[in-house]
């Protein structure tokens, strides 16, 4: 009988076992340190709108960003890790993925992190627990970061120090504007914690505020991971809750929607149609899902149905996905 785990899959964690290897804590520590450096530099870039080079003292302003983003990623990954330990599934420590913060390029200094399971996940219950623990743990930290950011938004002078011409009528008329897409939860927290009449930056300036930027990013990566496709976190949860066939149908529908929105966004951006429909990034992500992560989830040996409590947690996780999701998360508008 063919080994159902013979293929290699990728996600925030993978249910596909890898060959037993000796843990290399220095490798994990080294990747964490490098990612801390790249995210700190990215934090300076986002906060100051400066491409560098930077003095050592300037790097300090990147620390709120880097510490916050690594806190979210770490809680997410260790949510998976400790759930794996609970179910006696051997798993690696997180592999942090640094990304060089190239000036004037949209990136966050990291591509997240992954853990790899060393042994097979035999049951739907274990699959579900490991899959859902990461997004919920990361989501809790994301909410804490966002609430702190909303409560502590500095006055307009903070933004004027970055863009001295911010109040001028010609501001933003000559260059591209980078706009972070809103989501249900981001909008709700803004209404809940920003006082009437208090200055609050538009979504085209959110990235200058480290806690708001990181909180937005936390919602973004949570929703990306919770898409119910293949071996994404949402795919693991969907498979465990609904079974193989229903999961695959959901996976195909989710992929198709992403692909269509990606094509529309690609056409809108590169043909300069300016209809504001779709996001070209969904096309890239959908192709990764189809060719690398795959749409179908591998089977598990114990297909016992989940208990009602776990199903309720699963529906809550998909509720998190809905309120965190932004259909057009990153937009570049043409000069007016």
- What pLDDT digit, counting tens, does each position of 169-210 carry? 888 777 778 899 999 999 999 999 999 999 999 999 999 999
Taking the C-alpha atoms of residue 147 and residue 35, their distance in angstroms, rounded to an integer, is 25
Q: pLDDT tens, 138-154?
A: 999 999 999 999 999 99
Looking at residue 170, its pLDDT comes to 84
Q: pLDDT class for 102, splitting at 50, 70, 90?
A: confident
Taking the C-alpha atoms of residue 129 and residue 86, their distance in angstroms, rounded to an integer, is 9
Domain ranges of the chain: 13-333
pTM of the predicted structure, to 2 decimals: 0.91
Q: Across 65-185, where does the E strand assignment appear?
A: 95-98, 110-116, 177-180
Contact 37, 98 (CB under 8 A): yes
């Amino acid at each position: 009988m063919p080994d159902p785990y013979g293929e290699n899959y990728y996600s925030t964690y993978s249910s596909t076992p890898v060959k037993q290897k000796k843990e290399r804590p220095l490798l994990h520590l080294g990747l964490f340190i490098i990612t801390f450096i790249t995210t700190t530099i990215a934090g300076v870039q986002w906060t100051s709108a400066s491409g560098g080079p930077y003095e050592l003292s300037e790097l300090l302003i990147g620390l709120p960003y880097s510490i916050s983003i690594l806190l979210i990623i770490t809680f997410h990954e260790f949510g998976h890790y400790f759930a794996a330990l609970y179910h006696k599934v051997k798993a690696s420590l997180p592999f942090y993925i640094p990304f060089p913060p190239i000036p004037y390029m949209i990136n966050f200094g990291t591509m997240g992190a992954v853990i790899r399971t060393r042994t097979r996940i035999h049951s739907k219950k274990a699959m579900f627990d490991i899959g859902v623990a990461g997004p919920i743990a990361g989501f809790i930290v994301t909410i804490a970061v966002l609430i702190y950011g909303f409560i502590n938004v500095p006055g307009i002078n903070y933004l004027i120090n970055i863009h001295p011409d911010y109040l001028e009528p010609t501001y933003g008329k000559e260059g591209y504007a980078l706009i972070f897409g809103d989501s249900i939860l981001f909008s709700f927290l803004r209404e809940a914690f920003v006082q009437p009449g208090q200055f609050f930056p538009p979504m085209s300036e959110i990235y200058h505020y480290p806690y708001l930027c990181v909180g937005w990013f936390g919602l973004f990566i949570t929703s990306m991971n919770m898409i119910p496709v293949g071996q994404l976190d949402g795919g693991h949860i969907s498979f465990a809750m609904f079974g193989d066939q229903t999961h695959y149908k959901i996976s195909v529908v989710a992929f198709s929607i992403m692909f269509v929105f990606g094509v529309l966004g690609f056409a809108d951006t590169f043909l300069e149609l300016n209809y504001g429909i779709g996001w070209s990034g969904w096309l890239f992500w959908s192709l990764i899902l189809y060719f690398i992560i795959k749409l179908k989830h591998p089977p598990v040996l114990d297909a016992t149905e989940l208990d009602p409590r776990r199903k309720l947690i699963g529906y809550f996780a998909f509720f998190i996905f809905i309120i965190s999701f932004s259909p057009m998360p990153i937009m570049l508008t043409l000069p007016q």
